[in-house]
């Protein structure tokens, strides 16, 4: 995954109401009117939250007659979280997008007068 994909997924996961929607959809597929009843918020508000979750590719919709049911993509959610954890295991020095941050971190650690903590032994 790319940082942009993680950013989109974590933005979707970064709001309390969307986490509630995810928890509900993990239980079973639901339509907007059911989510409206359970969550006590308006249909437009729920639709906005579902849009964010769809853009992050965490939910999918199924049209049944005049109803649209939303489903959680559990495998996708698991893949996002697992890939993020794997990404965090890669040392910062090996991540091109964080070269400047890594360099500043090294400078900070090498200059104890600037660092806000005493030098310490690093553990993995």
Residues contacting residue 58 through CB under 8 Å, at least 6 positions apart: 9, 12, 13, 22, 72, 73, 76, 77, 80
**Model confidence at 2, in pLDDT bands (50, 70, 90)?**
confident
* Residue-range definition of the domain harbouring residue 51: 3-76
Please determine, for residue 118, whether its predicted confidence score (pLDDT) is greater than 80: no
φ/ψ (deg, to 5) at 34: -70, -40
Q: Does some domain include residue 111?
A: no
Q: Does some domain include residue 89?
A: no
Tally of structural domains, the chain: 1
Q: Does some domain include residue 104?
A: no
Residue 15, H or E segment = none
φ/ψ (deg, to 5) at 36: -60, -45
CB 46, CB 39: distance < 8 Å:
yes
CA-to-CA distance for 73 and 79, rounded, in angstroms? 10
CATH number, domain containing residue 42: 1.10.10.10
Q: Does some domain include residue 98?
A: no
pLDDT at 121: 63
**Model confidence at 114, in pLDDT bands (50, 70, 90)?**
low
pLDDT at 3: 87
What separation, in Å, do the N-terminal and C-terminal C-alpha atoms of the chain show? 24
**Model confidence at 69, in pLDDT bands (50, 70, 90)?**
very high
pTM of the predicted model, to two decimals?
Answer: 0.79
Q: Does some domain include residue 40?
A: yes
Please determine, for residue 115, whether its predicted confidence score (pLDDT) is greater than 60: no
Please determine, for residue 83, whether its predicted confidence score (pLDDT) is greater than 70: yes
Q: What is the pLDDT of residues 3-49, one digit of tens each?
A: 889 999 999 999 999 999 999 999 999 999 999 999 999 999 999 99
Q: How many other C-beta atoms are found inside a 10 Å radius of the C-beta of residue 92?
A: 14
Residue 21, H or E segment = helix 16-27
């Amino acid at each position: 995954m790319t940082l942009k994909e993680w950013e989109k997924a974590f933005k979707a996961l970064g709001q309390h109401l969307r986490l509630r929607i995810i928890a509900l959809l993990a239980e079973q597929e639901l339509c907007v009117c059911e989510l409206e009843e359970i969550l006590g918020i308006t249909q437009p508000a729920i639709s906005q939250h579902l849009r964010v979750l769809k853009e992050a590719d965490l939910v999918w919709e199924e049209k049944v007659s005049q109803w649209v049911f939303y489903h959680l993509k559990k495998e996708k959610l698991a893949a996002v979280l697992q890939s993020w954890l794997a990404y965090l295991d890669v040392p910062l020095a090996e991540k091109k997008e964080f070269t400047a941050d890594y360099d500043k971190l090294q400078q900070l650690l090498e200059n104890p007068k600037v660092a806000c903590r005493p030098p310490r032994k690093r553990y993995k």
